[in-house]
Amino acid sequence: MLTDRVAQGVAAVLPPRVAVSSTATDQNGDLLVRVAKQRLRIRWLERGSASLLNARLKDRPRPDLLMAARMSAAAQLAATDAGVGWLDETGAAQFAVGTVVVSRTSVSVPKTAHPVNRWTFATLGITEALITGVPGTVQALRAATGASPSTIGLALNFLTRTGLLTSQAARGRNSGRSITDPSRLLEAYTDAVTNARGTSSLRVGVLWRDPLEGLLQIGRRWDDQQLAWAATGALSAAALAPLQTQVAPMIVYVEAAGLATLAAAAGAAGLKLLEGGRLQLRPFPSPITARLSAEVSPGLRSVPWPRAYADLRDTGVRGEEAAEHLREMMQA
């Protein structure tokens, strides 16, 4: 239950000796939590983004704290600018209410769960297919992703157990799953992408006045080498949902098994490694993401838009603004 999640989230950022009472919900939907002798009014955000945070702050009465599963960097800054506290379920928090003062960064949690009980790279890929409209059946997902029926089954079962998908029947012709809440699925997927992101990446120097035209040129070189590639983040958004402002860094996924093959791919495109370079190269997160990538304009390949959205959300305030614009355009 949400009341339990909120109470546990508050208790997690406080010293063990501080008592946190059970929550109650008032007529406005806010959750009321008592910490020692201080009562806190907490407003839950379905998505920890700056745009939703600013919108929900307009509701009265004003909350003491805003809480989400994960607050983005832009949302944290927006809360600070508005003079309101915040916390999330990663263990990060920043608030001062009465005698209760907390300032914490997120806590890294070891990934010890069995694969069937957590997000895997394959589950992320299957989710990308579902969000982009592939029906939630094994047959349709296999055709779209190339994954095995057992891999698809594990992903669908996990997403169903977590309440992100629903099913009318356990088996048979009606056994396909449907998305329970598109916004909730996208947010859960985005958090999982952030938690699962690897460290393999290289930066290269580019002198592009027009990033999309520059990418087309190196993309043609990779095509000649029969090397799979796809834009993500700001480069994808510039083609799928253009905005006036440019967002850095520019990121491209390339078919590569690690840093050595990533460097070879850079060399094949005539790119030189440069610490702090404007263009970042990463290996595809999974074969499914590579397969779902497609041409979105002549010569320009992009990852599925949910992956571009998740990658944009991690690039600061302007990146989150571009991500929200992309989401609105793709879900319109």
> What's the average model confidence in pLDDT over 163-192?
82
Q: Is residue 248 in some structural domain?
A: yes
Tally of domains within the chain: 3
pLDDT in the model for residue 132: 96
Q: Is 169 domain-assigned?
A: yes
User: In the chain, where do the E strands start and end?
Assistant: 24-25, 31-35, 38-44, 65-68, 85-88, 93-97, 100-104, 165-167, 177-179, 202-204, 229-232, 250-254, 279-283, 294-297, 300-302
Taking the C-alpha atoms of residue 120 and residue 114, their distance in angstroms, rounded to an integer, is: 10
- Is 110 domain-assigned? no
Boundary-marking domain end, from 70, 85, 104: 104
Print the domain residue range for 81: 2-104
Are 216 and 260 members of one domain?
yes
Q: Are residues 22 and 120 in the same domain?
A: no
- Are 261 and 170 within one domain? no
pLDDT level of residue 186 (50, 70, 90 thresholds): very high
Judgement on whether residues 206 and 325 belong to the same structural domain of the protein: yes
109 is a domain residue:
no
Domain CATH for 190: 1.10.10.10
For 134, counting Cβ atoms within 10 Å of its Cβ (0-12 exposed, 13-18 middle, 19+ buried), the class is middle
Residues 66 and 89 in one domain: yes
What's the confidence (pLDDT) of residue 254?
96
Do 17 and 58 lie in one domain? The reply is yes
User: Residue 171 — very low, low, confident or very high, per pLDDT cuts 50/70/90?
Assistant: low
CA 11 from centroid of its chain's CA atoms: 25
Residues 189 and 242 occupy one common structural domain: no
- List, in order, residues 6 or more apart from 292 with CB less than 8 Å away: 125, 128, 129, 132, 144, 145, 303, 304
Residues 177 and 207 in one domain: no
Give whole-number Cα distances, 318 to 136, 244, 291, 321, in Å: 33, 11, 29, 5
Q: Is residue 320 included in any domain, yes or no?
A: yes
The pLDDT of residue 22 is 67
Confirm whether 99 is domain-assigned: yes
**Which of 104, 123, 144 is the endpoint of a domain?**
104
Q: Are residues 134 and 16 in the same domain?
A: no
Q: Quick one: average pLDDT of 253-277?
A: 92
Does residue 217 contact residue 209 with C-beta atoms inside 8 Å? no
Q: What percent of the chain has pLDDT over 70?
A: 91
Arithmetic mean of pLDDT over the chain = 87
Per-residue pLDDT tens over the stretch 36-87: 778 889 999 988 888 888 889 998 899 999 999 888 888 888 898 899 999 9
- Asked whether residue 154 falls in the same domain as residue 248, the answer is no
Lowest-confidence segment of 95-109, 218-232, 275-289 by average pLDDT: 95-109
Asked whether the predicted pLDDT for residue 175 surpasses 80, the reply is no
d(CA 30, CA 24): 8
Question: In Å, how far are 74, 315, 319, 323, 325 from 50, measured between CA atoms?
Answer: 6, 13, 11, 11, 12
Q: Please name every residue paired with 95 in a beta bridge, in sequence order, or none if there are none.
A: 102
Tell the residue number behind the tokens 């057992």, with chain if given.
150
pLDDT for 16 equals 80
Give the pairing type, strands 38-44 and 31-35.
antiparallel
**Are 259 and 301 found together in one domain?**
yes
Residue 317 pLDDT exceeds 80: no
Domain end among 171, 196, 221: 196
One domain for residues 64 and 183: no
Which of 208, 237, 259 is closest to 330 using CA atoms?
237
Q: Are 243 and 312 in contact (CB under 8 A)?
A: no
